[in-house]
Amino acid sequence: MSVPDFPEPGILFRDLTPVLADAEAFRAITDELAAPYSGRVDVVAGVEARGFLLAASAAYVLGAGVVAIRKAGKLPPVELLSESYELEYGAATLEMHPAAVPGTRMLLLDDVLATGGTLAATVRMAERAGYVVVGVGVVIELQDLAGRDLLDGLPVSALVSF
């Protein structure tokens, strides 16, 4: 579903929550995002908030752990890493805990790849945390916003691109 002027005037927000509420669609999305990474990852990370849903289901399918990438102030302040970045409509900061085992292989999932700021910040922070990011998966990629260009050649799997 597309929601005009949210969260600010001039932004067209792509909302996947109605699709994720459909059991068959959710299963298909999970399977498609996970399939290219079978046997290749130790954890799946999801970016707050819809990315949490995708990461948890894909981690289950892959037999991997799950890592939450949170907005600033949502994690207990014990050994946190943070990364600030620019959005189309402002700035934000993400936080996460360091890898329990440096070199842990991570798949990063989110719902939409738009300008790439959120995912690029997450990759930088995950690498500083000791993870090895092996790929990025999204349900929707908005190609005209060129977000993939900020991901430094990482493999990007998008289920739908337009």
| Rounded Cα distance, 122 and 120, in Å | 5
| Rounded Cα distance, 82 and 95, in Å | 4
For residue 149, what is the enclosing H or E element? none
| Rounded Cα distance, 72 and 94, in Å | 5
Please tell me which residue in 24, 48, 50, 79 is annotated as part of the active site.
50
Count how many Cα atoms sit within 13 Å of the Cα of residue 44 in the half-sphere of its side chain.
27
Structure tokens at 122: 């997450």
| Rounded Cα distance, 25 and 131, in Å | 30
Please tell me which residue in 40, 88, 127, 128 is annotated as part of the active site.
88
* Partners of residue 138 on adjacent β-strands: 110, 158
Note if 105 is an active site residue: no
Note if 124 is an active site residue: no
Contact criterion met (CB below 8 Å) for 127 and 106: no
The distance between the two most distant Cα atoms of the chain, rounded to a whole number of Å, is 43
Give me the active site residues, please: 50, 88
